[in-house]
Chain A
Amino acid sequence: MIDWMAFLIVFVTALVAAVTVVALYSLGIRFLATPPPKMRRADGSFEPDGPSRDDEDDDVDDLGRPRWATVAAYICFGLSIVCVLIGIYLIVPALHG
């Protein structure tokens, strides 16, 4: 009577889809936040790290971000956009018949 298999499929599909999209966009944001290469001090040690923080509204200080990080970030954002397009494809009946 209750189609548990269908429910399980819905659950797994939704989980995979949501996690993929969120992970992609998060990776993009993380890549944008890639710090510049560490500076070596005169005595051979590295600059120390600051305290950990979880602020949400902060904008990234993107000075000195390596080029590969920017490219990787844009790839991630691009893939997220593809996911949105897939979403639109699924919503509009005329597109998938």
Chain B
Amino acid sequence: MELTLIVLLVIVLALFFDFTNGFHDTANAMATPIATGALKPKTAVLLAAILNLIGAFLSTEVAKTISGGLINEGDGGVLITPEMIFAGLIGAIVWNLLTWLYGLPSSSSHALFGGLIGAAIVGAGVQAINGGVFLSKIIIPALAAPLTAGLIAFTATKIAYAITRRHDGKKDGRGRFRYAQIASSSLIALAHGTNDAQKTMGVITLTLVAANMQDPGTGPHLWVVVACALAIAIGTYSGGWRIIRTLGAGLTQVKPAQGFAAETSTAATILASSHLGFALSTTQVASGSVIGSGLGRKGSSVRWRTAGRIGLGWLFTLPAAGVVGAIAAAIAHLGMVGVIIDTVIGFGFILFIFWRSRRNKVDHSNVVAVPDVAESGYAVRIGGGKVRKVPTKTGTVPPLTSVAQSAVRADKAAREAERRAAEEREAAERAARKAAKLAKKQQRQQTNGDA
């Protein structure tokens, strides 16, 4: 009976993790086409969601081990219990939500591995971790992914601009890169669906196997596939707007040719890495591509402060999710009571993050500033302009980027205008009522007088 409850909790958490995975990674595919106006924000996330849904059904071959060899599983190693998976998922979800709140693109798989490692260390000690795999699967790729993608995107951007440059002063038609952007970003979204939904299917399937509810060696049940596909698609559709803003406007200003070069580099790198056996994180590849393409376009600048924040986020992803996973695992060791405490705290944290995110809401309407409205007269200052803190009702908006700030400013102006309009309307209504009353009074006096 108890086993069934924990299995149920793991399934629910795994699906929620899948959801956060989806909205965390919408940005990888859709940040640049949104930034250049190739796709409207809502269209972009809808397209990404559909492609993720399709992708999830295309590939249902799940991994043999949950941790991909990071934890010494199986014979002579650690037995990964549903409690450990439960604690690991809590760690991964907490970190995914926290990085989302700060608009940082970070790898969901690293968060999952981190949470599991933390839980495994509490459960079985440090020897549970395979140090060699840790280095070759996490640390080295984390350095290699952005560098590789950055270099490729840099080269591709240079080439795109060199080829399309006209020396006779006539229009060069680079706006046409927008059409190609739709194709390249769709490829990334599709690839994401085939890769990432599979991870959650693996977690659920391996949990069911561990609980003796499924024969080992069999593929995921249909309901698992459907649930995972839906979770990642809904997550993608809800759009991690904060991360889209960081990737699409926070790192550098993206132009169509540059955006296409960045997306093509991302797609090429991911496909090459998944087919030639050197796994790289999609998120890290996408971020590297955007930076590389920013360096490759003449006249654009990369905001290294933001890049630094993202890098710091990557550095902390694994240990931070690990610490949370470890704490959750320690509490879960209390038995069923511990698991329930974990669930309550975890749920509270999720609510807290969503409540906190409402303070400075980012959604499809303000994800990137509409270039000709908010940025006119502002874009020119982007190069050397100082980024100031913007005071809001509940504190200050952290010095994100000038583009993001201009969006915030436009937001505030719109709200102010709305408020003023409402006030005016009210005043007008009041005046009208007064006038009507006065007229009635006069009429009555007149009739009285007549009488």
Complex partner residue of A87 from B164, B187, B260, CB under 8 angstroms: B187
Measured in the bound complex, the distance between the Cα atoms of B176 and A1 in whole Å is: 45
Which chain B positions have C-beta within 8 A of A56?
172, 174-175, 255-257
CB proximity to A under 8 Å, residues B25-82: 55, 58-59, 61
Q: In the complex, what's the smallest C-beta–C-beta distance from B195 to chain A, in angstroms?
A: 9
Q: Does B160 contact A (CB under 8 A)?
A: yes
* A 51-71 to B, binary, CB cutoff 8 A, 1 in contact else 0: 111111111110000000000
Q: In the complex, what's the smallest C-beta–C-beta distance from A86 to chain B, in angstroms?
A: 9
Contact A10 B148 (CB under 8 A): yes
Q: Does B261 contact A (CB under 8 A)?
A: yes
Contact A30 B168 (CB under 8 A): no
Q: Does A27 contact B (CB under 8 A)?
A: yes
Q: Does B156 contact A (CB under 8 A)?
A: yes
CB proximity to B under 8 Å, residues A60-97: 60-61, 80-81, 84, 87-88, 90-94
* B 127-144 to A, binary, CB cutoff 8 A, 1 in contact else 0: 000001001100010001
Contact A19 B190 (CB under 8 A): no
CB nearest to A38 among chain B residues: B168
Contact B135 A50 (CB under 8 A): no
- How many chain B residues sit at the interface, stated as a range, is 35 or more
Contact B269 A30 (CB under 8 A): no
* Given A1-B135, A1-B136: A58 in contact with B180 (beta carbons within 8 A): no
* Given A3-B278, A49-B168, A61-B171: A22 in contact with B191 (beta carbons within 8 A): no
Q: In the complex, what's the smallest C-beta–C-beta distance from B52 to chain A, in angstroms?
A: 12
Measured in the bound complex, the distance between the Cα atoms of B141 and A6 in whole Å is: 12
* Given A10-B278, A35-B168: A27 in contact with B152 (beta carbons within 8 A): no
CB proximity to B under 8 Å, residues A26-54: 26-27, 29-30, 32-33, 35, 49-54
Q: In the complex, what's the smallest C-beta–C-beta distance from B61 to chain A, in angstroms?
A: 7
Contact B187 A26 (CB under 8 A): no
Complex partner residue of B261 from A22, A33, A57, CB under 8 angstroms: A22
Q: Does B177 contact A (CB under 8 A)?
A: yes
Q: Is the interface of A mostly helix, strand, loop or mixed?
A: helix
* Given A23-B163, A30-B164: A59 in contact with B175 (beta carbons within 8 A): yes
Most chain A beta carbons < 10 A, residue from B61, B255, B257, B268: B268
Contact A33 B166 (CB under 8 A): yes
CB proximity to A under 8 Å, residues B155-197: 155-157, 159-161, 163-177, 180, 183-184, 187, 190-191, 194
Q: In the complex, what's the smallest C-beta–C-beta distance from A82 to chain B, in angstroms?
A: 12
Contact B271 A26 (CB under 8 A): no
Which chain A positions have C-beta within 8 A of B386?
none
Q: Does B282 contact A (CB under 8 A)?
A: no
Q: Does B298 contact A (CB under 8 A)?
A: yes
* Given A18-B156, A91-B187, A93-B59: A54 in contact with B278 (beta carbons within 8 A): no
Which chain B positions have C-beta within 8 A of A9?
272, 276, 278
Which chain A positions have C-beta within 8 A of B299?
54
* Given A33-B164, A58-B172, A59-B175: A88 in contact with B190 (beta carbons within 8 A): yes
Q: In the complex, what's the smallest C-beta–C-beta distance from A73 to chain B, in angstroms?
A: 10
Contact B169 A93 (CB under 8 A): no
Contact B173 A29 (CB under 8 A): yes
Measured in the bound complex, the distance between the Cα atoms of B176 and A61 in whole Å is: 13
* Given A10-B278, A17-B268: A32 in contact with B167 (beta carbons within 8 A): no
8 contacts across the A-B interface (CB closer than 8 A):
A11-B151, A18-B269, A49-B167, A52-B166, A52-B169, A54-B161, A84-B184, A93-B59
Extra contacts, 13 of them, besides A15-B268, A49-B167 (Cβ < 8 A), are A9-B276, A10-B277, A22-B160, A22-B264, A26-B160, A26-B257, A32-B173, A52-B168, A53-B169, A54-B161, A58-B174, A90-B275, A94-B58
